[in-house]
Amino acid sequence: MIESLLVANRGEIACRIFRTARRLGLRTIAVFSDADAAARHVREADEAVHIGPAAARESYLNIARIIEAARASGAQAV
């Protein structure tokens, strides 16, 4: 079974996934852009990884940055 989960989303969806993942005993990892540094999903995750500037195309929609964050954090699943 996996031990860690990177959630490549933000806001309420990410928070719901984190709650469920914790119930399953998983370590949770958030990703965030400059605009979301103080966001709820970042605070609720066990770990958070910065993935770039505020523009979604340069952060959340940049698959290379998501993969890099997964590798850097040791996430076993995305």
Residue spans of the domains in the chain: they are: 4-73
pLDDT of residue 55: 96
- Type of residue found at 65: R
Name the band, by pLDDT with cuts 50, 70 and 90, for residue 29.
Answer: very high
The pLDDT tens digits of the residues spanning 63-74 come to 999 999 999 999
pTM for this prediction = 0.94
CATH topology of domain 4-73: Rossmann fold (3.40.50)
Name the band, by pLDDT with cuts 50, 70 and 90, for residue 58.
Answer: very high
pLDDT of residue 41: 98
- Report in angstroms the alpha-carbon separations of 77 from 22, 28, 38: 14, 10, 24
pLDDT of residue 5: 99
- Type of residue found at 18: F
Rounded Cα distance between 54 and 40, Å, is: 16
